[in-house]
Amino acid sequence: MDLWKGLDVLRQKKWTVTFAILNLLSLSSAARSPAQSPGDLACRKLQHALGPSIVNKPNDQDYHSVVFGAWSLFNTQYSPTCVVLPRTSNDVQITMAAIYQYDSKFSVQAGGHSAPKGWNNVDHGVLISFEHMRNISYDSIKDTIVMEPGIRWGESVTLLESQGVAPVGGRVDDVGTGLLLGGGISFLSPAHGFAADNFVELDVVLVDGTLVTATETNEFSDLFRALKGGANRFGIVTRYEVRAIHTGTADDKTWFGGLIQYPPSSFEALAKAISNYTLYATDPNAAILLYFAHFLQPDDTVQSFAIASIFYNGTSLPSSVFGEFLSIPALQTNLSPMSYPEIASSLSEPQPANGHAQMFGAVVIAGGEDDMHVEVLRQWLNFTNVFQDEYNTTVLAFTPIPISQIAIGRERGGNAMNSPLGSAISRLPLYINECDKKQSVFETYGQYEFLKQTYAKYDPTRFNVRRMDGPQGL
């Protein structure tokens, strides 16, 4: 199969970097709305305070485009009482104050790319959508980028390309800024840390509507660190200021790499290779994403293959880093000099990006555990074979987290995940952006006790946990 055609089909079927992602074809739900619910009261007050152009009810056009525009069809099954489309942080403050006053359920949607059911939509409550807050700018004096929460990573790279800078963001272009709050993994991460490690300043609306600005050194430094992995539990970020990475323009071919497609006969060798890479790779200029795909084609035949997205910030792929992958029998290899904008769009999603129901799940494996990597591969293959009549696509992906990526985060004040360094590994944190909602992700964090204490400080009535769906454990 042609590599690019295969990738197009895979995109159409929807995929992401997790263990066993399962896609269904269609879902629907019936709307119910209890009279005089907390959501009714909050929405009535908000429509009076902000106006119908910002607060949409079920018969309004923007309501439908937001509710049914979620990336996963599981998250289109909900019926919010109203959808709030703020234009400013003040709009978000007014919204949260009303939600808090009436004890209404609520949810927040930035890019809408979240897979866990209910994390970016809500029944009979207030859905806050950042569809109209998508500005981004580069400050050359401070060498930072300021983003509103509705921007997506493809847009951010495109809009800043002429200035030769980019934020450390996602690897798929339609992913939104919610990725930052989960930590965030980028092809820039080996050299610059998790995306959240590049925070400079955050404007945060707390559950009662209070707006604070958090930095590494001010009175809200604990909140600042908690938001590096704390997902949607600690407040609503309405402005991100992050470090600018000088990635070059579209004409600057300072990278080398591309995609290599492999047949099923190479799967086990690839699992061993990614295990070795994770253990031994120390070059921060190298980045790789390896995924295995199994999907049902339109003619009901099954196609399986693996693709390695391999990139190096240099003129060629060093054999000392990527030699094992380059020696494994491949179906097709497409490698060439590349610019960073080309890398950022190499895993681009089609438009519209939604259209399938997604189920995620994640595991963490230490580098060098060849047997474990191969066992995970075999378990995924077994799962795929057993349930192939129920799901049209399953994907297994391995994302190495090198020591350099962890060390940078520690140098910049640390993050909530607090991944261990060295050989004495007592606990490996899960990556929340790729987990199922039933996984107790926070409990795997090295800073779990810190997270609980910080949450209790900023939300003493536990309003967020009681009234919004999200990660458990706080």
pLDDT at 460 over 80: yes
pLDDT-derived band at 349, boundaries 50, 70, 90: low
Average pLDDT of the residues in 211-238: 98
pLDDT-derived band at 34, boundaries 50, 70, 90: very low
Q: Which CATH class is domain 28-129?
A: alpha beta
Q: Which of 9-23, 196-210, 287-301, 392-406 has the lowest mean pLDDT?
A: 9-23
Residue with tokens 């866990």: 116
Q: Which residues contact 46 (CB under 8 A, 6 or more apart)?
A: 54, 55, 82, 84, 94, 95, 98, 126
pLDDT at 355 over 90: no
What is the pLDDT at residue 387?
84
Q: Which of 19-28, 30-39, 191-200, 451-460 has the lowest mean pLDDT?
A: 19-28
H/E element holding 86?
A: none
- d(CA 10, CA 8) in angstroms, rounded, equals 5
pLDDT digits (tens, 9 = 90+) for 35-50: 689 999 999 999 999 9
pLDDT at 2 over 60: no
Residue 112: how many CA atoms within 13 Å on its side-chain side? 24
- What does the domain layout of the chain look like in residue ranges? 3-22+254-338+356-400, 28-129, 136-248+441-467
What is the pLDDT at residue 191?
98
CB atoms within 10 A of CB 208: 15
Average pLDDT of the residues in 375-403: 91
**111-125, 138-152, 337-351, range with greatest mean pLDDT:** 138-152
Structure tokens at 404: 């350099």
Structure tokens at 267: 């799967």
Distances (CA, A) of 341 to 236, 259, 350, 406, 408: 29, 15, 17, 25, 23
Q: Which of 354-363, 420-429, 457-466 has the lowest mean pLDDT?
A: 420-429
pLDDT at 19 over 50: no
- d(CA 336, CA 323) in angstroms, rounded, equals 16
Average pLDDT of the residues in 58-83: 92
* Gyration radius of the chain over CA positions: 22
- d(CA 263, CA 1) in angstroms, rounded, equals 10
pLDDT at 468 over 50: yes
- d(CA 322, CA 307) in angstroms, rounded, equals 14
**3-17, 46-60, 341-355, range with greatest mean pLDDT:** 46-60
Is CATH 3.40.50.150 correct for 136-248+441-467? no
Sign of CA pseudo-dihedral 210, 211, 217, 222: positive
pLDDT at 354 over 90: no
pTM summary value: 0.90
What is the pLDDT at residue 20?
34
H-state helical runs in 303-458: 319-327, 340-344, 370-386, 403-411, 448-458
CB 206 within 8 A of CB 248: no
pLDDT-derived band at 352, boundaries 50, 70, 90: low
Sign of CA pseudo-dihedral 309, 312, 318, 321: negative
- d(CA 105, CA 311) in angstroms, rounded, equals 43
What is the pLDDT at residue 421?
83
